Amino acid sequence: MLGIIDGVTEEAERCGAARVNSVHLRLGALSGVVKEALLFAYDLACEGTLLEGSQLIVEPSPVLIHCSRCDADRVLESPQGFCCPVCGTPSVDVLQGREIEVMAMEVTSP
């Protein structure tokens, strides 16, 4: 949580923003972070920062693996089975799904 606030504050200061209205966060299914827990704590954690009163918009990001047999990237339907949804070949080649990334923010200039 503090990583989000620190990172966004740094970017907001860099672009001369007076306040942050919203934060767009990409959250991987394998990130180990629960969306609801983030939202629950967000308002309180933002108090006294440029992000106070802002909205956290979470965009869930599914797990993407590479299937060596199909030689293709595949989206996993669930993280309970790391196999290609098309041919069933197991894969540990995770291309996406671990990320916790701020992708955008809406700011207001002074």
Strand order in the sheet with 94-96: 72-75, 64-67, 94-96
Among positions 40, 72, 77, 79, the unique one binding other proteins when judged by CB under 8 A: 79
> Which one of 70, 82, 85, 96 is in contact with other proteins (CB under 8 A)?
82
Q: Per CB under 8 A, which region of 42-50, 67-75, 76-84 contacts other proteins?
A: 76-84
| Per-residue three-class SS string for the chain | CHHHHHHHHHHHHHCCCCEEEEEEEEEECCCCCCHHHHHHHHHHHHCCCCCCCCEEEEEEECCEEEECCCCEEEECCCCCCCECCCCCCECCCEEECCCEEEEEEEEECC
Q: Is 35 in the site for other proteins (CB under 8 A)?
A: no
Residue from 11, 55, 57, 66 touching other proteins (CB under 8 A): that is: 11
Choose the binding region for other proteins from 45-53, 66-74, 80-88 (rule: CB under 8 A): 80-88
> Which residues here bind other proteins, judged by CB under 8 A?
3-4, 6-8, 10-11, 15, 17-18, 21, 25, 30-34, 79-83, 90-92, 94, 98-110
